[in-house]
């Protein structure tokens, strides 16, 4: 029979190991910024089409991740998608006239919102909206546009 | 033997009925256990002797009938009342039922730790006194697995008397022990009974040992009390069944043969 | 009509056991308060349930993580997406494999031991003896083990996942040459604290609850013979495995949607 003290030490070590594992999962593995972003600020942007954008997709500026998509809604009056972006608080100098576009990382990669800085001296604040937006490129539309242009050219040429 | 010339018994069982599924265990048994005496319940295996102890201890409830212990109707007690009563009962199980994870010392200390707030030094003294009484003070640091069956029963006995109960129930205390151990246990039961005045209930089918130490014997068969009385009186019993049992005759009211069709017909027949 | 009769009988037995099991659970909850007041009982059980399961959980976690790293790499590299290895390994472990495999191992290691221990205590009349000493075995024997199992399981599952991710890291980054930065950043970008980690912990907690419940109930309800105890031990492992896998589907559907 193992004595009481070493049992207590072993249990203590076990609990410490378990908590350390949980801590590692939370800090090292997961996106803990989901919580630190909780005190960030929100911007909204309207798009004609968001393609495959999802909640929690990254928001980047110059390729650097500065926030994430917090919510996606559909505005029935304007027939537009309203995307709420949550930006980390340290990125507080985004010019007012910045534009937002939806890009795809790589050929099959996930979609994300890229912000292009404008030239305005005033900065975005909480609940502001981004007016300049560019929708996601939808493959079918791209192809049909291309084909349409081709036909117009052929018709004009003859 | 009229009831009026005796003091009120510690345990009074009236018209006990109990069945296990379809099997009838008790079918109207009346049993009295006198205070300060050694009373033995005797009967063949499977007659529900252990069941009877469990009903006195409140672990099983009879289908009907009453089980009075010290004036309390055991089957009707609430859990906390029952637990309060059990603190005054000790039970020595057939196998000893020692806690395999605890040392001998801790086994005997267990009821004291659970039910008293005595300081450690006093618990130690009490445990050593109890172990000394069963002759195993020197074995206090052993684990139950290191003990022989007879020693385990002695430890169980020390544990059963740890709280100084008013009665002890012994479930088959002699079964499967060598003669020396049987002698030791008999002496211990007698000693505890005489020195502490503890009421003892023994459940057994070992005729000689029981006859030697019991004050009173109940013979049970097929759910009924067949005969009862002091050992000497019982030897003169007119019941064939009691005679067969006491003298260990192979055939009698309890047949040697399990009920079967006629032997000759069975051998000649084509089975079935 | 024979099969109809036996169906009915099986059904009755099933409902009887289900009812007894739940009533038993109520009694255990009733006895839980005593355990909280006596931490020494709990610590002793945390040792035999948690600490003694640590080795098998850690070793299995490491192996599962390494295999996962290797297999996923071979698939991902065809799409040139081996940078996502960290994400794939972490998500598989945190969401599914960690809680489920750890719970199955837990049922096999700790659950069967619990059933055997309590069953043997019953078979050797220790539980009965305790009752006769005016001590409620539900409070002294069952409740501490139940609580210890419930608390140990999430910790064990977290250890399994964490060690597994390290195993995946070792194979992916150490042996196969995935970029270390990409491994962790892809993981961090795609594993959500609430959605993935917390849900995984909830899963493991539920599995721990059910597996321990089955184990202590089977032990307490065992037929007190050698054969009865061995049957109960087998039943614990089989029933726990079924319960864990079935619950995993339900919980996954509830948590991650898709249905």
What is residue A158's predicted lDDT score, i.e. its pLDDT?
47
B156 inside domain: yes
Alpha helices in C170-256 (DSSP H): 180-190, 199-220, 226-256
What is residue B232's predicted lDDT score, i.e. its pLDDT?
83
Nearest to C193 among A24, A34, A65 (CB): A34
Would you say C104 and C153 are in contact if contact means Cβ atoms under 8 Å apart? Answer: no
Same domain, A124 and A77: yes
More confident of the two residues B229 and B6: B229
pLDDT at B255 > cutoff 80: no
End of a domain among B144, B164, B184?
B164
Segment B22-33, tens digit of pLDDT: 888 888 888 888
- 3-state SS class at C175: helix
Same domain, A6 and A53: no
Same domain, A54 and A123: yes
Would you say C65 and C93 are in contact if contact means Cβ atoms under 8 Å apart? Answer: yes
What is residue C111's predicted lDDT score, i.e. its pLDDT?
94
Segment A52-110, tens digit of pLDDT: 787 777 888 888 888 888 888 898 998 889 999 888 888 888 888 888 988 887 655 67
| Any C CB within 8 A of A55 CB | no
- For residue A1, which residues of chain B lie inside 8 Å, CB to CB? 101, 103, 143
Best C38, C42, C47, C52 member to test A by mutation, with max A CBs in 10 Å, is C47
What is residue C37's predicted lDDT score, i.e. its pLDDT?
74
pLDDT at A139 > cutoff 80: no
Same domain, A87 and A21: no
End of a domain among B164, B184, B210?
B164
What is residue A106's predicted lDDT score, i.e. its pLDDT?
62
Average confidence (pLDDT) over A130-154: 80
Nearest to C128 among B59, B90, B98 (CB): B59
Domain of residue B71 covers 3-88+166-268
pLDDT at B269 > cutoff 90: no
10-residue stretch averages of pLDDT, chain C, 259 residues long:
85 86 87 79 89 93 94 87 86 92 94 94 89 87 91 94 94 88 81 85 94 94 91 94 93 77
Look at B115 and C134 and tell me if their CB atoms are within 8 Å. Answer: yes
A86 inside domain: yes
What is residue C234's predicted lDDT score, i.e. its pLDDT?
94
What is residue C1's predicted lDDT score, i.e. its pLDDT?
66
Domains of chain C, residue spans: 2-256
Mean pLDDT of chain B: 85
Chain A: touching chains (3 or more CB pairs < 8 Å): B, C
- For residue C131, which residues of chain B lie inside 8 Å, CB to CB? 57, 59, 86
For the beta carbon of residue B117, count every other beta carbon within 10 angstroms: 6
- For residue A13, which residues of chain C lie inside 8 Å, CB to CB? 51
What is residue C60's predicted lDDT score, i.e. its pLDDT?
95
B94 inside domain: no
Same domain, B72 and B171: yes
What is residue B3's predicted lDDT score, i.e. its pLDDT?
46
Which helix (H) or strand (E) element contains residue C258?
A: none
Q: How many helices (H) and strands (E) does chain C have?
A: 12, 0
Report the chain A residue with the minimal C-alpha distance to residue B103.
Answer: A1
Same domain, A14 and A40: no
Same domain, B57 and B183: yes
Å between B94 CA and nearest CA of chain A: 26
Highest-pLDDT range among B170-184, B236-250, C224-238: C224-238
CA dist., res. B67 & res. C60, Å (int): 57
CA dist., res. B200 & res. B194, Å (int): 10
Same domain, B195 and B262: yes
Å between C172 CA and nearest CA of chain A: 15
CA dist., res. C130 & res. A98, Å (int): 76
Segment B33-82, tens digit of pLDDT: 888 889 999 888 777 888 888 888 888 888 888 888 888 888 888 888 88
Report the chain C residue with the minimal C-alpha distance to residue B86.
Answer: C134
What is residue B96's predicted lDDT score, i.e. its pLDDT?
80
Same domain, A133 and A86: yes
Same domain, A80 and A97: yes
Same domain, A26 and A81: no
Look at A14 and C196 and tell me if their CB atoms are within 8 Å. Answer: no
pLDDT at A116 > cutoff 50: yes
B121 inside domain: yes
What is residue C232's predicted lDDT score, i.e. its pLDDT?
94
Average confidence (pLDDT) over B126-134: 89
- For residue A8, which residues of chain C lie inside 8 Å, CB to CB? 43
Domain of residue A95 covers 36-138
Instruction: Name the nearest CA neighbour of C40 among C147, C136, C181.
Output: C147
- For residue B99, which residues of chain C lie inside 8 Å, CB to CB? 121, 126
What is residue C59's predicted lDDT score, i.e. its pLDDT?
95
* Residue where the block lists tokens 């709280």: B163
Q: Which residues of C touch A (CB under 8 A)?
A: 40, 43-44, 46-47, 50-51, 54, 79, 90, 94, 152, 154-156, 158-159, 161-163, 165, 184, 187-194, 196-197, 200-201
Chain B segment 226-245 residues within 8 A of C by beta carbon are: none
Structural domains in chain B (count)? 2
Instruction: Name the nearest CA neighbour of B14 among B29, B33, B35.
Output: B29
């Amino acid at each position: 029979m193992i004595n009481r003290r070493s049992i207590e030490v072993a249990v203590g070590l076990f609990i410490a190991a378990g908590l350390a594992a949980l801590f590692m999962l939370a800090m090292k593995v997961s996106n803990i910024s989901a919580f630190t972003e909780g005190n960030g600020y929100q911007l909204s942007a309207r798009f004609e089409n968001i393609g495959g954008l999802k909640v929690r997709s990254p928001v980047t500026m110059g390729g650097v991740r500065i926030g994430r998509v917090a919510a996606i809604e559909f505005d029935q009056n304007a027939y537009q998608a309203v995307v709420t972006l949550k930006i980390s608080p340290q990125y507080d100098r985004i010019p007012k006239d910045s534009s937002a576009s939806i890009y795809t990382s790589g050929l099959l990669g996930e979609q994300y919102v890229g912000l292009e800085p404008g030239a305005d001296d005033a900065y975005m604040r909480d609940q502001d909206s981004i007016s300049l937006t560019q929708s996601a490129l939808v493959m079918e539309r791209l192809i049909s546009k291309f084909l349409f242009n081709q036909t117009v050219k052929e018709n004009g040429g003859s | 033997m009229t009831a009026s010339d005796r003091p009120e018994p510690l345990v009074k069982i009236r018209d006990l009925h109990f069945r296990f599924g379809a099997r009838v265990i008790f079918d109207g048994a009346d049993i009295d256990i006198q205070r300060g005496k050694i009373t033995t319940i005797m009967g063949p295996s499977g007659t529900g002797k252990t069941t009877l102890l469990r009903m006195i201890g409140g672990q099983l409830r009879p289908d009907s009938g009453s089980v009075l212990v010290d004036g309390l109707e055991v089957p009707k007690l609430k859990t906390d009342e029952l637990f309060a009563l059990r603190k005054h009962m000790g039970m020595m199980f057939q196998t000893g039922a020692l806690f395999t994870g605890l040392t001998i010392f801790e086994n005997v200390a267990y009821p004291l730790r659970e039910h008293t707030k005595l300081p450690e030094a006093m618990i130690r003294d009490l445990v050593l006194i109890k172990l000394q009484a069963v002759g195993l003070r020197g074995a206090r640091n052993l684990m139950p697995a290191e003990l022989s069956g007879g020693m385990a029963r002695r430890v169980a006995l020390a544990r059963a008397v740890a709280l100084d109960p008013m009665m002890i129930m012994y479930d088959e205390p002699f079964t499967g022990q060598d003669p020396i151990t049987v002698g030791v246990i008999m002496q211990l039961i007698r000693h505890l009974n005489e020195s502490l005045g503890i009421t003892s209930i023994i459940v057994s089918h070992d005729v000689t040992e029981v006859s030697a130490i019991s004050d009173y014997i109940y013979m049970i068969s097929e759910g009924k009390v067949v005969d009862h009385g002091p050992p000497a009186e019982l030897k003169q019993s007119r019941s064939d069944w009691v005679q067969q049992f006491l003298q260990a005759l192979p055939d009698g009211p309890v047949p040697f043969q399990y009920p079967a069709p006629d032997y000759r017909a069975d051998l000649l027949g084509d089975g079935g | 009509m024979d099969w109809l009769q036996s169906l009915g009988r099986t059904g009755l037995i099933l409902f009887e056991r289900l009812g007894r099991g739940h009533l038993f659970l109520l009694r255990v909850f009733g006895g839980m308060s005593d355990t909280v007041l006596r931490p020494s009982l709990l610590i002793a059980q945390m040792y035999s349930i948690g600490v003694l399961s640590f080795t098998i959980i850690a070793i299995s976690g490491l192996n599962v993580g390494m295999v996962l790293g290797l297999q996923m790499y071979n698939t991902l590299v065809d799409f040139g997406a081996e940078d996502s290895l960290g994400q794939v390994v972490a998500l598989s472990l945190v969401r599914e494999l960690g809680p489920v495999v750890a719970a199955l191992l837990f049922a096999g290691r700790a659950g069967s031991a619990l059933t055997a221990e309590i069953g043997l205590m019953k078979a050797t009349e220790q539980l009965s003896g305790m009752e006769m000493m005016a001590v409620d075995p539900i409070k002294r024997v069952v409740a501490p083990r139940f609580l210890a199992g419930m608390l140990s399981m999430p910790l064990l599952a977290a250890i399994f996942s964490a060690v597994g991710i390290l195993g995946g890291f070792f194979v992916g980054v150490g042996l196969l040459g995935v970029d270390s930065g990409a491994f962790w950043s892809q993981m961090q970008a795609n594993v959500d604290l609430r959605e993935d980690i917390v849900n995984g912990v909830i899963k493991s907690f539920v599995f721990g609850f059910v597996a321990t419940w089955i184990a202590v109930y089977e032990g307490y309800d065992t037929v007190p013979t050698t054969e009865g105890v061995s049957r109960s031990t087998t039943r614990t492992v089989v029933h726990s495995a079924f319960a864990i896998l079935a619950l995993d589907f339900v919980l996954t559907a509830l948590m991650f949607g898709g249905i």
